[in-house]
Structure 1
Amino acid sequence: MADTYDLVILGSGPGGYVAAIRASQLGLKVAIVERERLGGICLNWGCIPTKALLRTSEIYHYMQNAESYGLKADNVGFDLAKVVDRSRKVAGQLNAGVKGLMKKNKVTVVEGVGTVTAKGKLSVKQGDKTVELEAKNIIVATGARARDLPFAKADGKTIWTYRHAMVPTEMPTKLLVIGSGAIGVEFASFYNDMGANVTIVEMLPRILPVEDEEVSAFMDKALTKQGIKLLTGTGLEGLAPSGSGVTAKIKHKDGKVVEETFSHAIVAIGIVPNTENIGLEALGVETDRGHIKTDGYGRTNVDGIWAIGDVTGAPWLAHKASHEGIIAVEKIAGGSPHQMDKANIPGCTYSRPQVASVGMTEAKAKEAGYELKVGKFPFIGNGKAIALGEAEGFVKTVFDAKTGELLGAHMVGAEVTELIQGYVVARQLETTEAELMETVFAHPTLSEMMHESVLGAYGRSIHY
């Protein structure tokens, strides 16, 4: 006989487990099905462990440049196994935390491979055993996986996906990173700071192509200055293991194809949604290039079937998945949540320097027909940035000249992934330039640059 719940969630990533907690808070009897580890890719193999690695490379960079702070650090080195072990322990600690949250919120965790067999019914395979579940509502939160090159599947030896790149058994000497989105740039930054010779190949004309063009241009110069070789407008026509490394056929802008050998390659060309073999086709759930189509509340075209997170499409971000989960659950419970507004979802890249943004780029705002006021303030004009020894970067704000609406904000530099939330809150509250100008920012802080950028858009910047 099937176990019956108000809600069953398939997948326990940042969308699934957050949805489960909120459902429990609203009084629903909820179960969550997970085939691997609670917390999903983000917690175990993505957001969190990569930040642990990046923190290590950041500290290593500072140790190597201790003299600029009046310090001495001789014979600086690292133990790769311990670097990886720290990252895995961070992920393990948070995995245990999610287990505790499930128990605290009385969420039933069902381990195994789940399949939706009919509306309101799931079958969970646990080795030789099968568990049947029933629920009025099912949320699909199965996430996504790394996309392989069609001509070169990752082997974990010399051709890596992000999962392999997080647990290296050897340090690359000459690394090829294929793709310059957030994942590609973060790994390029980590391995470059740890001493590898890094090349990034990007098909599009600029790196970090979803960011504002000025941010991309700044990052191009910053990463090049750090020694990373950037090949934009460049294709990859072949990639194959060769001896103890990998040989790439790189098609340059002039059409010339050049073969080059690397010790390792990281494939960071996007993701594939995990929608296969979970029963969606038989139910007639609509998809678009594999991603489940939903409305602003997470509803699919099939009554009682909902979907959240990476499986529903861009932006592929943990915080987007979590918020979608809360919206869906509140709607299921009979509430009246606001629909998801993707324009207010911040994007962050945790490289060195960091990149963060929310809303429209200047180019997108112009395309949309807005008359603009644009402000920009450099890190070099900020006392805290200079004191930190982090005087490279800028903050850029884009306003509707007619209404004062903050259309977008774009940052590059130290700790901007923490600063961006100020602008996210401003957009959520529909703040105009007037309120932002009247806000008092603490001194000395990096956040003062946010104020100065707003002032600059209206010709009132004080320190630049």
Structure 2
Amino acid sequence: MSTQGVDVVVIGGGPGGYVAALRAAQLGLSVTLVEREHLGGVCLNWGCIPTKALLRSAEVLRLARNAASYGVKAGPVEADLAAMVARSRKVAETLSQGVAYLLKKNKVTVLDGAGRLDGPRHVVVTRPDGRSTRLEAGAVILATGARARVVPGLEPDGRRVWTAREAMVPESLPQRLLIVGAGAIGIEFASFYAACGVKVTVVEVQDRVLPLEDEEISALARAAFEKQGIGLMLGAKVTALRRDDDALTATVEVAERTRDLSVDRVLVSVGTVGNVEDLGLETTRVQVERTRVRTDDLCRTDEPGIYAIGDLTGPPWLAHKASHEGLIAAAVIAGQTPAPLDPLAVPACTYGHPQVASVGLSERAARDKGHSVRVGRFPFRANGKAIALGDVDGLVKTVFDADTGALLGAHLIGPEVTEMVQGFAVARTLETTEAELMHTIFPHPTLSEAMAESVLDAYGRVLHV
């Protein structure tokens, strides 16, 4: 086994790992990235990107079905599932190749294989052909991500009981789909399959959909999903699943009563488990708590020289959070002093129909923290661009500290809000108050004008309602 010296070894090539590798290389460090499967990780290959491609297909399908309302004559419209899936996979392949190009351009060495720590500063890489390479590293960044949590009794079989991975590449559309979990992943797949004509039922143990979002936004989302025909069973749990040859029968407990649902497929989306196995963590002082690697606010583990980023370290389980942590870890290794990541500055986005996005504190969380708040709301039905688009359901909600004017949080539901929320994220980073937002000129006609009007509404100055 040969030994090679390198400044930084990154284990995992997802949105956290490859970004960390790129930035470390840009800072003048020699970098080796170890990836056992696909560059870009789950997000690019089996998560964020390909699901958005499928949701885009669903959006086009909805628009085509409603073409007459836009003055467009169209023939019969139907979903071509094989073509949708093929396009989604092509998008993922294109971006994975792009990551490989960027790593090569920045002179990052990429090793195909599984990386395992052998003490604090050594990584053994087992290649697909069985050969091993030993790396002596100045620093190691763990970026191995997470996988879907398995629920006893609902173990995926890859054929009829799915994780998100199988749900992305179905060979055919089921007539009836049960989704367990009403978080972002569950809701996005509910939107896709419902648009394709599947009868979708979502079971959620909490009493509302998208339970991490502001309660008002969750209520609006629920109404929108039910209007589309998506069945929602809230405050409920699947207690058993019978797998017969011709059907699946799920027993659901809700309001102290049980009922059986006969379905064709089940998608389980109830959280994640960190990929901490077979990393050699036991040869170091790295601590694991509930499948998550423990870190400080600069991504440092309990073992000097070893860093951990992304889903491996816990919530929020978002690609852009992982990427930002990768930048932080690389900067620390290079001797810089980056600002720690503020979890409240991380935007959250759900790309279903309608879209949902947020940043900062919800109204309830702000009040629970002792803030006296001012809340503004502006509906898209009063926004000219939304009316022109024919997509007027939803609103923008802003939460301010009543004493200081600080923007505590922003919560949006409606057309393209996943693009709009970044404006509020920038405002929070700049510690903007209502005064600066009121002085900002928003272009007309745009959906973003609803952001400005929401701020005005919080202070009794709204114009267009």
TM over 0.5: yes
Are residue 180 (structure 1) and residue 182 (structure 2) matched?
yes
Q: Distance in 2 between matches of 1:246 and 1:149?
A: 16
**In the alignment, is the contact (CA less than 8 A) between 2:120 and 2:283 conserved in 1?**
no
Trace 1:47-446 onto structure 2 (pairs within 5 A): 47-126=48-127, 127-253=129-255, 255-446=256-447
Q: Deviations over 1:268-297 (max 9, x none)?
A: 001110001111123131122010111111
Q: Distance in 1 between matches of 2:246 and 2:15?
A: 38
Aligned partner of 2:18 in structure 1 is: 17
Q: Deviations over 1:5-58 (max 9, x none)?
A: 000000000000000000010000000000001000000000000000000001
Q: Deviations over 1:170-228 (max 9, x none)?
A: 10110101000000000000000011000000001111000000000000100000000
Q: Distance in 1 between matches of 2:253 and 2:395?
A: 33
Q: Distance in 1 between matches of 2:357 and 2:42?
A: 22
Q: Distance in 1 between matches of 2:172 and 2:159?
A: 10
Counterpart secondary structure, 2:95? helix
Q: Deviations over 1:321-373 (max 9, x none)?
A: 00000011101100111011111000000000000000000000000000000
Q: Distance in 2 between matches of 1:98 and 1:456?
A: 44
Task: Return the letter of the residue paired with 1:458.
Answer: Y
**In the alignment, is the contact (CA less than 8 A) between 2:117 and 2:283 conserved in 1?**
no
**In the alignment, is the contact (CA less than 8 A) between 1:309 and 1:320 conserved in 2?**
yes
Q: Which runs of 4+ in 1 moved over 4 A?
A: none
Q: Deviations over 1:144-178 (max 9, x none)?
A: 01111111210111100000000000101101010
Aligned partner of 1:8 in structure 2 is: 9
Query: Structure 2: 5+ residue runs without aligned partners?
Result: none
Counterpart secondary structure, 1:249? strand
| Post-superposition offset of 1:81 | 1.1
Task: Return the letter of the residue paired with 2:319.
Answer: A
The range that moved more, 232-241 or 408-417, is 232-241
Counterpart secondary structure, 2:124? strand
Q: Distance in 2 between matches of 1:282 and 1:173?
A: 50
| Post-superposition offset of 1:241 | 2.2
TM-align CA RMSD? 0.7
Task: Return the letter of the residue paired with 2:100.
Answer: K
**In the alignment, is the contact (CA less than 8 A) between 1:152 and 1:240 conserved in 2?**
no
Task: Return the letter of the residue paired with 1:264.
Answer: R
Give the length in aligned residue pairs: 463
